[in-house]
């Protein structure tokens, strides 16, 4: 298991007229979470795309528990439980400053060879990075 944490300060643009963070903003927050997870492992999503592999999202699920508000400092906890093969699973937990759980989510991502536009397994070099970090 690999767990990474990153902080996001809620922007005014991310609120809606209910006075809460719009429910459709969390997928972007989750993406920040997995971007930072990769960076903390010593690589980057950008490097992956520049290497010709992209990772579109195959599925997403979110369970909303409590709302976030403007200017809240959120903690995005990104969790990798399994090594990536054809697909890569990320789990997320979002907390506010009081430590309350706001929502939990999961995304499944595929690996796509950008030249041939076809699914491929996780590139070996990336698999090794995950392996090294998950066994720490």
- Residue 13 interacting with a second copy (CB under 8 A): yes
Q: Partners of 104 in the beta sheet?
A: 63, 93
Instruction: Measure the CA–CA gap between 100 and 94, rounded to whole angstroms.
Output: 8
- Residue 59 interacting with a second copy (CB under 8 A): yes
- Residue 89 interacting with a second copy (CB under 8 A): no
∠ Cα 80 95 70 (to 5°)? 130
The stretch near a second copy (CB under 8 A) out of 54-62, 76-84, 92-100, 126-134 is 54-62
- Residue 61 interacting with a second copy (CB under 8 A): yes
Hey, is 93 helix, strand or coil?
strand
Instruction: Measure the CA–CA gap between 3 and 34, rounded to whole angstroms.
Output: 10
Tell me which residues touch a second copy (CB under 8 A). Answer: 9, 11-13, 15-20, 22-28, 31-32, 35, 44-46, 49, 54, 56-64, 67, 70-71
């Amino acid at each position: 298991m690999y767990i990474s944490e990153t902080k996001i300060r809620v922007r005014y643009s991310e609120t809606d007229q209910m006075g809460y963070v719009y429910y459709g903003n969390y997928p972007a927050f989750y993406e920040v979470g997995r971007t930072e997870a990769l960076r903390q492992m010593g690589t980057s999503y950008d490097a992956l795309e520049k290497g010709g592999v992209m990772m579109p999202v195959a599925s997403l699920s979110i369970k909303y528990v409590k709302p976030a508000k403007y200017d809240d400092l959120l903690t995005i906890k990104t969790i990798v439980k399994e090594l990536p093969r054809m697909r890569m699973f990320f789990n997320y937990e979002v907390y506010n400053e009081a430590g309350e759980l706001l929502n939990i989510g999961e995304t499944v991502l595929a690996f796509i060879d950008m030249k041939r536009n076809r699914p491929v397994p996780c590139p070996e070099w990336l698999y090794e990075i995950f392996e090294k970090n998950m066994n720490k």
